[in-house]
Amino acid sequence: MPNNRRLRDGEHASPSSKGNRWASDAYPDRYRDDVNASIGFAGVDMDMFTRGKVEDLVKLIDRVARMPASRAECLDIGCGVGVMHPMLHGKVARLSGVDVSEDAVRDASSAHPQVNYEVQRNDRLPFADASFDVCSTVCVMHHVPPAQWRHFVAEAYRVTRPGGLFAVYEHNPINPLTRVAVWRCPFDHDAVLLRAGQTKALLREAGFEIAETRYLFFTPVDAAWARRVDGFLGWLPLGAQYVVCARKPG
């Protein structure tokens, strides 16, 4: 949700406010091309990262949730045009996505009619309390103005069921190649990258209990052996991205 003006602490601008947009809203048509151009120096494309995160999320649910992924009702917060959803659909019981961009949600709905999409028109997610077993947000929080981070996480907490999970995937600012990729990406120019420790602190403050923190994408290779490397080195804070998974008490 990029915002060219810095908000005062405690101020929550509506997602429909001018200038307060997630990347998918500002660049819905160029999103894939811009991402691929920003990471092209590494010899990979965004599909590698998408597949890797989908595989990781499914395994994470199976490992940490109190039910298998195939029974989980899931929400993708800040889903954009739903690039993960063709790979994730069918691996979970029900998949929903929400974004502040009407254009992105329209495109996602057209491309993936099997997924339930909603537009977020104000600072409240358009779902009832405790609606989902698993909520996730994938490389979205660095577009949210820092003054709104607490509210963003609080909304995820509200719509997660007791005992459910919230998984945050983010760029790792400690990784120098990640910083290069962010610098090269047009819609990341106002991004504020969060370290894993900051993300964990925000989730704890909202009431979540941290279940797992791991680093991902240590090698720019789209292969099963590379994912095994991720599993072996996940404790090392040098991967290109990371995941913080937390549970809502209940």
Query: What are the DSSP E strand ranges found in 45-200?
Result: 73-77, 94-99, 116-119, 132-138, 160-171
pLDDT of residue 16: 33
Whole-number Å distance between alpha carbons of 65 and 89: 18
Structure pTM?
0.83
Whole-number Å distance between alpha carbons of 1 and 99: 10
What is the pLDDT of the chain when averaged over all its residues?
84
Among 77, 105, 236, 249, smallest CA distance to 167 is for: 77
Provide the CATH topology of domain 34-247.
Rossmann fold (3.40.50)
pLDDT of residue 30: 59
Among 161, 193, 1, 2, smallest CA distance to 78 is for: 1
Regions of the chain with pLDDT less than 50: 1-28, 36-43
Give pLDDT tens digits for 74-110. 999 999 999 999 999 999 999 999 999 999 999 999 9
Task: Report helix, strand or coil for 167.
Answer: strand
Task: Report helix, strand or coil for 85.
Answer: helix
Where are the domains positioned within the chain?
A: 34-247
Length of the chain: 250
Give pLDDT tens digits for 228-245. 888 899 999 999 999 999
Q: Is 196 left (phi over 0), alpha (psi -120 to 50) or beta?
A: alpha
